[in-house]
């Protein structure tokens, strides 16, 4: 039983995305952790793993991964929607050959001279 507890810390390092069912073996009452503490720790680990999802989405849009990971860990439901909703930083969009229309804020080609959505003329952008 005591050996099981030592194994549990090694387990979350080895498996970055352990399934929720796989974390079921909590240390029993003879260790330092009570069953309740073990369950809480498992939840924290699950939430931290879930928090990676919005953090990854936000990072793809040029945001800070660590900040969004914390956000996603504590407020997963909000963070995942927020990460999907936020607009990418402009430099990040330029990397993909896209930019925002200054008139309607929709994403258009970087070298477009006219917005394909609102049909307004847009100033040319120099590529790096
Ligand atoms: Zn437009």
Ligand 1 geometric centre to CA of 23 (Å): 49
Do 128 and 97 lie in a common domain? yes
Ligand 1 geometric centre to CA of 108 (Å): 8
pLDDT at residue 82 in the model: 94
How far is Cα 33 from Cα 96, in angstroms, rounded to an integer?
A: 49
Q: What is the pLDDT of residues 92-128, one digit of tens each?
A: 788 888 888 889 988 899 889 999 999 999 988 765 5
Do 58 and 95 lie in a common domain? no
User: 98: helix, coil or strand?
Assistant: strand
Ligand 1 geometric centre to CA of 122 (Å): 8
Domain that holds residue 97: 87-128
Do 77 and 93 lie in a common domain? no
Do 65 and 95 lie in a common domain? no
Ligand 1 geometric centre to CA of 85 (Å): 19
pLDDT at residue 10 in the model: 47
Do 42 and 101 lie in a common domain? no
Number of structural domains found in the chain = 2
Q: What is the pTM of this model?
A: 0.53
Where does residue 48 rank: exposed (0-12), middle (13-18), buried (19+ CB within 10 A)? middle
pLDDT (tens, 9 = 90+) of the chain, 128 residues, equals 445 554 444 454 554 554 544 455 545 555 566 777 788 889 899 999 999 999 999 998 889 999 999 999 999 999 999 999 988 887 778 888 888 888 998 889 988 999 999 999 998 876 55
């Amino acid at each position: 039983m005591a050996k099981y507890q030592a194994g549990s810390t090694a387990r979350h390092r080895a498996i970055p995305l352990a399934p929720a069912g796989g974390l079921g073996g909590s240390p029993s009452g003879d260790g330092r952790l009570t069953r309740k503490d073990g369950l809480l720790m498992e939840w924290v680990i699950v939430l931290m793993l879930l928090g990676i999802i919005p953090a990854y989405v936000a990072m793809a849009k040029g945001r800070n991964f660590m900040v969004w990971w914390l956000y996603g860990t504590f407020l997963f439901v909000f963070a995942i929607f927020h990460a999907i909703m936020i607009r990418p930083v402009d430099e990040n969009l330029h990397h993909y050959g896209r930019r925002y229309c200054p008139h309607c804020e929709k994403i258009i080609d970087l070298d477009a001279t006219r917005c394909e959505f609102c049909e307004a003329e847009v100033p040319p952008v120099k590529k790096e």
